[in-house]
């Protein structure tokens, strides 16, 4: 039992029912009584009554990892699923136990696939130790014992012991050096569409999110940052605001101002009453046009680094029978999580900092909090709350934690819950990069694709958020993906990358680099059309036998009856893109009315992720990707004027509604042998499948988004 | 002092008349089920029932809720779960879950008005926004509750 957790639990126990921390720390009651937590190993806690609590290091934002990882642990542990629950691992304890839970980062569809190996081993190790403990008590060889659903049986004597009866003894044993994991074909708990642990609390409206934190004497904060990225605070006249009801303080920082009051509304009212002068700095005249000009300048650079070079593209293009060229582009996009950025921080008199936040990376939040407060990591705890959406916004950048901690430092001893307004959230994101791509294809006399030269101008996400991940010559794989690793067998390929960053912060928007799937798969469609070939046949001809892109293409085409008859007015489009460890192919069925209105009726998506841990959450993620991507196809964009983001709320950055949703049919075709993700892959083929269907319907080739700028009237 | 009837209980709250009901509920009454999403009555994460109608509580002033019956997700079922909440679990509707309390209350208002709603009825009535994309499951869950609770028309 660690001291900080116990200290924290004592503090929270005093709150009574106001704040149900049981959600994040179900062991609260036990620990508050000073009883030892029966931990078999860092992942597996087993109570005397057989309840199993699985510690989860990754965050939960609706993608289901909180349950899926427990399924994997429980599978190897071989316990009664009805008695299993999850709790988040403590980032503070994580640091003090030498990062025992591996990565806390929750992005890149990595939650399950990058932790499956060690969490399964943790479950298997715990099972081995529990059996050994029972065998030791019976003084028999462990090899004579078997286990099923948490009950250990000694074969010869038929004696039994429950996990809960031997957990404390098992915890004292040395963990096994090696364990054998179950063959997925024998899974009984993993691989099943089990109900998610987090759903009952969410439908009951329990306070599980970052914005739901309530602490004794807590105040609320609303903040304003310089509307121009990189700008600074010049002056604030807070005379009127400070006299407003419930207002406790106006916090001034170099790059933001916060109103602090006894309710969020009062804090926000005070913020709006401030007279703030900003120094826009060097970027006050930037606009969408200037940013596009910057990207074009990158495309014109004759000496770009190459993300891929196969064969001799220039010569092949010069000698090609036919050359086809196209330019595509995409705008910036905000994540628009339903829960705005939020952080509650409490700098305690004893010099310990506690933070509650909706984060995709508890460890990164803790590092940001410690650095901001000038405290060692050991003096900081981050309580990971459920996220009201993440989509990449709350992982790399920890801006909201830095702000929350700064506000808490201005109010020492008092917990303060900061939440951004929607306008603040819309205008201070880490946006999906805007980009322009030029593709040039060379076809031989038979129409075969022999050369492809792609030039990409795109701001780099990694440059700021993860510079250690940049490749040679500053290649950002998130900017060149789907071209640099294109599966199509084209003998001559070249991919050039122009890193043009601009002043708008960019970040990991669901499936970073997904816009390249749009460019590539629509361009491939252009080539198929130009050569009079069926888009499915054209792609299959370019894919090597055994390529899993083929498999998902064929699965999607079959499920959607590609080539079969369609209802009048309905048209199909197709695309295949791999990424995040998985392969995804999609058929979109759309109609375009005489007045030019697009309706997406049906989406069929086939996904090969190797293994499937919870098929229902995998399907939910496919449905989610379709909805998330649909808004970006139809009407979402973030534009820049006078250095600032123009859009401010859902009125000018709309989200799709119920009435716009297509039917989504997900075909899971796991072929085993690898572990792919599900949080992002299905968004990869979405935009090109829909835009290819629009071409089939109208003959209009969509090369830029959103569609609201295009006239689809016939 | 304003007197508000929330979930069948009368509360006296010392707040500005113009404070939105959402913030009275969240920060003064400790009822955190209704969420802030946009503050301008677009997204519906703040949906509560006022005299049985689904209302965007982020733009309804506290004063205008006086004398009316406010029901939040916390007051939906006296004990256990409401049929809608059960269906939401059965169909595994929520993802992040942030918008779902609003969805459930909007669905309740819809079913009161139309016990057996068509897909079009659902499209018209359910204007709440969900960033995760749970719409198809919301639709399924509403149909499931309707099928259980309303007699089939001949």
B119 touches chain A (CB under 8 A): no
Non-local CB neighbours of A138 within 8 Å, separated by 6+ positions = A145, A154, A157, A159, A161
B75 touching A (Cβ < 8 Å): no
- Whether A345 and A392 share a structural domain: yes
Q: Which of residues 22-51 of B touch A (CB under 8 A)?
A: 23, 26-28, 30, 32-40, 42-43, 45
Half-sphere exposure of A143 (CA within 13 A, CB side): 0
Judged by a CB distance cut-off of 8 A, whether residue B117 touches chain A is no
Is residue B91 located within the same domain as residue B52?
A: no
Q: Check if the beta carbon of residue A681 is closer than 8 Å to that of residue A511.
A: yes
- Specify the CATH number for the domain of residue A237: 3.30.365.10
With an 8 Å Cβ cutoff, is B85 touching chain A?
Answer: yes
Tell whether B57 lies on the interface with A, counting CB pairs under 8 A. no
| Cα-based distances in Å from A453 to A471, A486, A657 | 20, 12, 39
- Tell whether A25 is covered by a domain: no
Which among A616, A658, A663 has the least Cβ separation from residue B138?
A658
- B21 in a structural domain: yes
Q: Do B131 and A337 touch (CB under 8 A)?
A: yes
First to last CA, chain B: 52
pLDDT value, residue A126: 97
Domain end point (choices B42, B75, B108): B75
Three-state secondary-structure class, residue A437: strand
- Closest to B100 (Cβ–Cβ): which among A203, A421, A623? A203
Of B92, B43, B21, B135, which Cα lies nearest the Cα of A338? B43
Can you say how many angstroms the Cα of residue A369 is from the centroid of all Cα atoms in its chain?
Answer: 21
- Nearest by CB to residue B126, choosing from A202, A212, A658, is A658
CA dist list (Å): A161 to A79, A137, A389, A616: 13, 10, 43, 34
Cβ atoms of A530 and A256 closer than 8 Å: no
Q: Judge whether B123 is closer than 8 Å to chain A, CB to CB.
A: yes
Q: Which of A489, A522, A342, A346 is nearest to A419 (CA)?
A: A342
CB A639 within 8 A of CB A647: yes
Burial class (CB in 10 A: 0-12, 13-18, 19+), A56: buried
3-state secondary structure of A579: strand
pLDDT at A7: 33
Which residue do the tokens 């079922």 mark?
Answer: B77
Cβ burial A587-605 (10 Å sphere, 16+ → b, else e): bbbbbbeeeeebebbbbbb
Q: Is residue A18 domain-resident?
A: no
Name the domain count of chain A: 3
Shared domain for A354 and A326, answered yes or no, is: no
Is A263–B27 a contact, with Cβ atoms under 8 angstroms apart?
A: yes
Domain containing residue B102: CATH number: 1.10.150.120
A300 and A449 both lie in a single domain:
yes
Q: Chain A partners of B135 at a C-beta cutoff of 8 Å?
A: 627, 656-658, 661
Q: Does A208 touch chain B (CB under 8 A)?
A: yes
Question: Between helices A163-170 and A116-138, what is the axis angle to 10°?
Answer: 100
Q: Are residues A613 and A470 in the same domain?
A: yes
**Which of A390, A419, A448 is the last residue in one of the domains?**
A419
Closest CA to A350 of A383, A378, A382, A384: A378
Residue A268: its H or E element: helix A264-273
The pLDDT, as a whole number, for residue A506 is 98
With contact defined as beta carbons under 8 Å apart, do B27 and A265 qualify? yes
Task: With CB atoms and an 8 Å threshold, state whether B133 touches A262.
Answer: no
- CATH code for the domain of B49: 3.10.20.30
Q: Which of B101, B131, B137 sits opposite A336 (nearest CB)?
A: B131
Query: Phi and psi at residue A45, in whole multiples of 5°?
Result: -115, 130
Question: What DSSP letter does each residue of A466-516 carry, written as one string?
Answer: -GGG--GGG--HHHHTTTTT--S--SEEEEEEEE---SS-B---SSTTTHH
Q: Which chain B residues are closer than 8 Å to A384 by Cβ?
A: none
Lookup result for tokens 């309804």: B60
Domain interval for residue B57: 2-75
- pLDDT at A714 (0 to 100): 79
Residue B154 lies in a domain: no
Q: What is the pLDDT of residue B149?
A: 84
Which of A17, A195, A200, A202 should one mutate to test binding to chain B, selecting the residue with the greatest count of B CBs within 10 A?
Answer: A202
- Residue holding tokens 């639709």? B139
What is the C-alpha separation between A110 and B89, in angstroms, rounded? 26
Instruction: Please check whether residues A487 and A526 belong to one and the same domain.
Output: yes
Reading the block at residue A86, the tokens are 């999850």
Per-residue pLDDT reduced to its tens digit, A130-166: 999 999 999 999 999 999 999 999 999 999 999 999 9
Is the CB of A340 less than 8 angstroms away from the CB of B36?
yes
b/e for A407-416, b at 16 or more Cβ within 10 A? bbbbbeebbb
Q: Give the Cα separation of A280 and A168 in Å (integer).
A: 61
Is the CB of B98 less than 8 angstroms away from the CB of A209? yes
pLDDT digits (tens, 9 = 90+) for A69-95: 999 999 999 999 999 999 999 999 999
Q: Compute the distance between CA of residue A652 and CA of residue A638 in angstroms, rounded to an integer.
A: 9
Give me Rg for the CA atoms of chain A. 27
CB contact under 8 A, A265 and B72: no
By DSSP bridging, strand A219-225 and strand A145-148 are unpaired
Q: Are residues A307 and A380 in the same domain?
A: no
User: Which chain B residues are within 8 Å of A390, Cβ to Cβ?
Assistant: 96
* Chain mean position to CA A395: 8
Please indicate, yes or no, whether residues A184 and A265 belong to a single structural domain of this protein.
no
3-state secondary structure of B56: strand
Alpha carbon A144 to chain centroid distance? Answer: 45
Residue with tokens 């122009």: A498
* Residue after which a domain boundary falls, among B75, B101, B129: B75
Contact list in A for residue B87 (CB cut-off 8 A) is none
Same domain, A409 and A436: no
Best to test chain B binding among A204, A262, A267, A665 (most B CBs inside 10 Å):
A204
Low-confidence ranges of chain B (pLDDT < 70): 150-154
Query: Are A367 and A508 contained in the same domain?
Result: no
> Are B59 and B107 in a shared domain?
no
Residues of chain A with pLDDT under 50: 1-30
Domain that holds residue A271: 211-281+341-419
| B12 and B70 share one domain | yes
What does DSSP say about strands A598-608 and A663-668: parallel, antiparallel, or unpaired? Answer: parallel
- B9 and B48 fall within a common domain: yes
Which residues of chain A are within 8 Å of residue B88 when distances are taken between CB atoms? 199, 203
- Are B59 and B93 contained in the same domain? no
Q: What is the pLDDT of residue A19?
A: 31
B132 lies in some domain: yes
Q: Say if B60 falls within a structural domain.
A: yes
From chain B, pick out residues whose CB is under 8 angstroms from the CB of A656: 135
Please tell me if residue A514 touches chain B, with a CB cutoff of 8 Å. Answer: no
pLDDT tens digits, A88-113? 999 999 999 999 999 999 999 999 99
| Among the partner residues A200, A207, A419, nearest to B32 by beta-carbon distance | A207
Question: Does residue B7 share a domain with residue B68?
Answer: yes
CA pair distance A707, A331, nearest whole angstrom: 12
Identify whether residues A372 and A254 lie together within a single domain. Answer: yes
Spatial neighbors of B80 by CB under 8 A, at least 6 apart, are: none
Q: Residue A251 in 3-state DSSP?
A: strand
**In this complex, do B95 and A390 lie within 8 Å of one another by their Cβ atoms?**
no
Tokens matching residue A498: 């122009």
**What's the gap in Å between the CA of A632 and the closest CA on chain B?**
12
Residue with tokens 């509304």: A265
pLDDT in the model for residue A37: 73
CA angle at A512 for the pair A511 and A518, rounded to the nearest 5° = 80
Which positions in chain B touch A625 (Cβ < 8 Å)?
133
Q: Cβ of A664 under 8 Å from any chain B Cβ?
A: yes
Asked if residue A39 lies in contact with residue A171, where contact means CB atoms within 8 angstroms, the answer is yes
What b/e string do you get for A296-316 counting C-beta neighbours within 10 Å, with b at 16 or more? bebbeeeebbbbbeeeebeeb
Nearest-Cα residue of chain B relative to residue A202: B97
Q: Is residue B16 part of a domain?
A: yes
Q: A156 with A238, same domain? A: no
In a domain, B112, yes or no: yes
In a domain, A102, yes or no: yes
Of A182, A204, A226, which marks where a domain is finished?
A204
Tell me if B37 is assigned to some domain: yes
Rounded distance, CA B111 to CA B99, Å? 18
Residue of B nearest to A602 (CA): B136
Query: Could you give the number of structural domains in chain B?
Result: 2
Q: Which residues in chain B are contacts of A198 at CB distance < 8 A?
A: 94, 97
DSSP letter (8 states) at residue A133: H
Q: Is A84 on the interface with B (CB under 8 A)?
A: no
List the one residue out of A621, A620, A612, A566 whose CA is nearest residue A588: A566
Helix (H, G, I), strand (E, B) or coil at A86: strand
User: Are residue B57 and residue B98 in the same domain, yes or no?
Assistant: no
* Domain match, A192 and A73 both: yes
- Cβ atoms of A676 and A113 closer than 8 Å: yes
Q: Whose structure tokens read 């006239």?
A: A711
Is A651's CB within 8 Å of B42's CB? Answer: yes
Final residue before a domain boundary, out of B57, B75, B93: B75
């Amino acid at each position: 039992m660690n001291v900080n957790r116990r200290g924290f639990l004592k503090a929270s126990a005093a709150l009574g029912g106001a704040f149900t921390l049981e959600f994040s720390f179900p062991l609260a009651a036990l620990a508050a009584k000073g009883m030892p937590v029966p931990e078999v190993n860092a992942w597996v806690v087993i109570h005397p009554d057989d309840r199993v609590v699985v510690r989860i290091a990754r965050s939960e934002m609706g993608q289901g990892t909180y349950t899926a990882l427990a399924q994997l642990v429980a599978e190897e542990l071989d316990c009664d699923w009805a008695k299993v629950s999850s709790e988040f691992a403590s980032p503070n304890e994580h640091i003090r136990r030498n990062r025992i839970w591996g990565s806390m980062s929750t992005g890149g569809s990595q939650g399950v696939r990058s932790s499956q190996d060690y969490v399964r081993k943790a479950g298997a190790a715990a099972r081995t130790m529990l059996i050994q403990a029972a065998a030791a008590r019976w003084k028999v060889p462990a090899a004579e014992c078997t286990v099923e659903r948490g009950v250990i049986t000694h074969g010869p004597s038929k004696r039994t012991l429950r996990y809960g009866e031997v957990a404390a003894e098992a915890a004292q044993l040395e963990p096994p050096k090696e364990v054998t994991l179950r063959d997925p074909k024998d899974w009984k708990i993993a691989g099943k569409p089990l109900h998610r642990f987090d759903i009952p609390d969410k439908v009951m409206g329990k306070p599980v999110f970052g914005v739901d934190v309530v602490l004794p004497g807590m105040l609320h904060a609303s903040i304003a940052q310089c509307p121009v990225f990189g700008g600074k605070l010049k002056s604030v006249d807070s005379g009127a605001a400070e006299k407003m009801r419930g207002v406790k303080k106006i916090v001034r920082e170099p790059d933001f101002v916060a109103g602090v009051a006894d309710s969020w509304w009062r804090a926000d009212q005070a913020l709006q009453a401030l007279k703030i002068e900003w120094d826009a700095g060097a970027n006050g005249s930037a606009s969408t046009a200037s940013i596009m000009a910057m990207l074009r300048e990158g495309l014109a650079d004759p000496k770009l680094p190459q993300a891929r070079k196969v064969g001799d593209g220039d010569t092949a293009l010069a000698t090609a029978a036919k050359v086809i060229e196209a330019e595509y582009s995409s705008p910036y996009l905000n994540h628009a999580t339903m829960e705005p950025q939020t952080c509650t921080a409490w700098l305690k008199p004893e010099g310990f900092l506690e933070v509650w936040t909706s984060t995709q990376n508890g460890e990164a939040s803790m590092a940001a909090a410690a650095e901001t407060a000038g405290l060692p990591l050991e003096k900081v705890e981050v309580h990971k709350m459920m996220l009201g959406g993440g989509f990449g916004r709350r992982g790399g950048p920890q801006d909201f934690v830095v702000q929350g901690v700064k506000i808490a430092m201005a109010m020492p001893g008092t917990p303060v819950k900061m939440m951004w307004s929607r306008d603040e959230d819309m205008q201070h994101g880490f946006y999906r990069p805007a980009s322009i791509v030029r593709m040039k294809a060379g076809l031989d006399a038979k129409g075969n694709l022999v050369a492809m030269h792609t030039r990409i101008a795109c701001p780099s996400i990694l440059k700021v958020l993860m510079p250690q991940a940049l490749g040679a010559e500053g290649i950002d794989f998130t900017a060149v993906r789907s071209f640099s690793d294109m599966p199509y067998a084209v003998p001559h390929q070249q991919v050039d990358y122009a890193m043009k960053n601009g002043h708008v912060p960019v970040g990991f928007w669901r499936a970073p680099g997904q816009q390249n799937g749009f460019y590539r798969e629509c361009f491939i469609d252009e080539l198929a059309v130009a050569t009079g070939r069926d888009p499915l046949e054209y792609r299959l001809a370019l894919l090597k036998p055994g390529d899993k892109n083929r498999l998902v293409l064929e699965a999607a085409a079959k499920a959607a009856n590609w080539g079969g008859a369609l209802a009048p007015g309905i048209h199909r489009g197709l695309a295949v893109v791999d990424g995040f460890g998985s392969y995804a192919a999609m058929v979109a069925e759309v109609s375009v009315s005489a007045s030019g209105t697009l309706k997406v009726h049906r989406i069929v998506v086939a996904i090969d992720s190797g293994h499937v841990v919870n098929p229902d959450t995998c399907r939910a993620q496919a449905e989610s990707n379709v909805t998330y991507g649909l808004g970006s196809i139809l009407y979402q964009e973030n534009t820049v004027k006078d250095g600032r983001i123009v859009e401010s709320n859902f009125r000018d950055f709309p989200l799709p509604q119920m009435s716009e949703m297509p039917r989504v049919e997900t075909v899971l075709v796991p072929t085993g042998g690898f572990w792919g993700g599900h949080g992002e892959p299905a968004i990869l083929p979405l935009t090109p499948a829909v835009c290819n269907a629009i071409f089939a319907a109208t003959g209009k080739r969509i090369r830029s988004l959103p569609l609201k700028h295009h006239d689809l009237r016939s | 002092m304003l007197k508000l009837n929330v979930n069948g209980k009368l509360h006296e709250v010392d707040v500005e008349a113009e404070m939105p009901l959402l913030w009275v509920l969240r920060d003064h009454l400790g009822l955190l089920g209704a969420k802030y999403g946009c503050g301008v009555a677009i997204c519906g994460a703040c949906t509560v029932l006022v005299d049985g109608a689904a209302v965007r509580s982020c733009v309804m002033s506290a004063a205008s809720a006086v004398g009316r019956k406010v029901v939040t997700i916390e007051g939906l079922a006296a004990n256990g779960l409401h049929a809608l909440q059960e269906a939401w679990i059965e169909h595994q509707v929520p993802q992040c879950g942030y918008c779902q309390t609003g969805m459930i209350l909007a669905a309740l208002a819809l079913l009161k008005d139309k016990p057996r709603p068509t897909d079009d009825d659902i499209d018209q009535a359910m204007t709440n926004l969900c960033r995760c994309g749970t719409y198809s499951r919301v639709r399924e869950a509403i149909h499931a509750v309707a099928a259980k609770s309303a007699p089939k028309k001949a």
